[in-house]
Chain A
Amino acid sequence: MKTDISAPQGSTLYQRLGGAAAMEKAVDRFYRRMLKDPRVARFFEGVDMQQQAAKQRGFLTMVTGGPHAYTGKDMRDGHAHLLAKGLDDSHVDVVIEHLGAILLELGASPADITQVAELANSVRDDVLSRPKRASG
């Protein structure tokens, strides 16, 4: 379902998509895609679904430029236990792939998606517990 999101310059994708209500819908679709994707589904085994959805709502809010409380430390702490299960760059790529797909569905533009992917990439080192490199 495409939404017309011709909006004033300077507003965030978060605002243009429809704010918190849109995030609700986005998380529902995003999380479902992750659970159905055999490449990443195993990382979600035994996870409390509601808590997981709340975390993803925070993540999606952050990468779309909304008000968030996410920190690099959260990202590190939240994913550290998954490294032992084999979490690596390929899985971060899957996340970014699904993220782009659902944001397109919800009406984001290709330029928006590029920007979201950049933001998501900016936490890649935190997610994979690597030393933070200079960005750029």
Chain B
Amino acid sequence: MSVEDAKGTSIVVDDRRIVVRTGESVLDACERSGVEIQSSCRAGLCHLCRVRAIAGVPPPESQIGLDHADAAEGWFLACRARPSGALSVTLDGAAGARARVRLVERVWLAKSVIRARFEWLDTFPHRAGQFVELVRSDGLSRSYSIAGVPALDPYLDLHVRIFEKGAMSAWLAHEAEITTELEVRGPGGKCVYAPASLDQPLLLAATGTGLAPLIGVAREALAAGHRGRIVLFHGGLDENALYLQDVLRNLAATHAHFIYQPGVLRGPAAAGVEIGPLAEVIDRRFPDLEGWRVHLCGAPELVELLRRQCYLSGAALRDIVADPFVARVQPTMR
């Protein structure tokens, strides 16, 4: 839906046709046409003018400085984009889609973790590694990571950490009737599988239910034919916090380049489970992360500690994606 002529290139911005004149950026053209885009430096530095292409390919120079996941989703900087071909752009920054789901199954995975499985009544585009907001009919809402891989799994699976005083989690664990309908909104989060190449090694590190999105990322990577190493660390306070160990060991047994390493802060622990702080375990096993892509999900303090550590170990900042889980209530146990 674009016409290139002597005057410039025609693009579509939220259903409005705008001509980007020769030499103009998408930002310039929008401003001239009365379409408001937040901006400041106009030099590709502040990232305020981030917008997303929903059709067409943004010029590569407009994606410099964005992380791979954002670039793969079509995000680009309007001030740096001088398009020469078809481009449809949305200014809708927050993913605001909604869908209905029905609770169909509840399985205890660990002492305080359930897998809540929902059937999609309608759906919206989403990816493994992202999170959605689950909204009960009375408006109560909480965010949970998507545990599955949309292309492989028909259901919406969420791993829910149960806080006995948690309004949503205790209700989901003990009260919600199977067939209850809820709304989901989203998706959000940058922890998606988006390596620079199929050969880039992946380090996935999770604590608690941070495992959910990273299992999804690992399975998506394997399904995509990823060739680089995929190393998944799952840490918890003690063995009660570890779950899906059999599933992950099986996955490791059938894929030579997938490595699963559970760990606990405090022993005792079964053979094959590391004991000690997760950051130390990772540093000991993978002291050099140059060229790696790193996904971190779970307790915010640990995520930030690992972000710094992985960067100092050589991973580029743009190759470190993180999703800190912030609990709405004090955990009864950790």
Contacts and interface: CB of A to CB of B under 8 A. Distances in A.
B43 A67 contact: yes
Contacts of B307: 49
A67 B42 CA distance: 9
Dominant secondary structure of chain A at its interface with chain B? helix
B113 to A, nearest CB: 30
Contacts of A58: 41, 45
Contacts of B65: 20, 24, 57
A76 to B, nearest CB: 18
B48 to A, nearest CB: 11
A35 interface: yes
A24 B64 contact: yes
Interface residues of B, number: 20
A25 to B, nearest CB: 8
Contact of B317 (A21, A28, A61, A69): A28
Assign chain A's interface to a size class. 20 to 34
Interface string B93-128: 000000000000000000000000000000000000
A49 B311 contact: yes
Contacts of B311: 31-32, 35, 49
A35 B64 contact: no
A65 to B, nearest CB: 13
24 contacts: A20-B61, A20-B80, A28-B317, A31-B311, A32-B311, A32-B312, A32-B314, A35-B308, A35-B311, A36-B312, A49-B307, A49-B308, A49-B311, A50-B317, A53-B317, A54-B45, A54-B47, A57-B65, A61-B43, A67-B43, A68-B41, A68-B43, A69-B42, A69-B46
Q: Which 3 A-B pairs have the closest CB atoms?
A: A69-B41, A67-B43, A20-B64
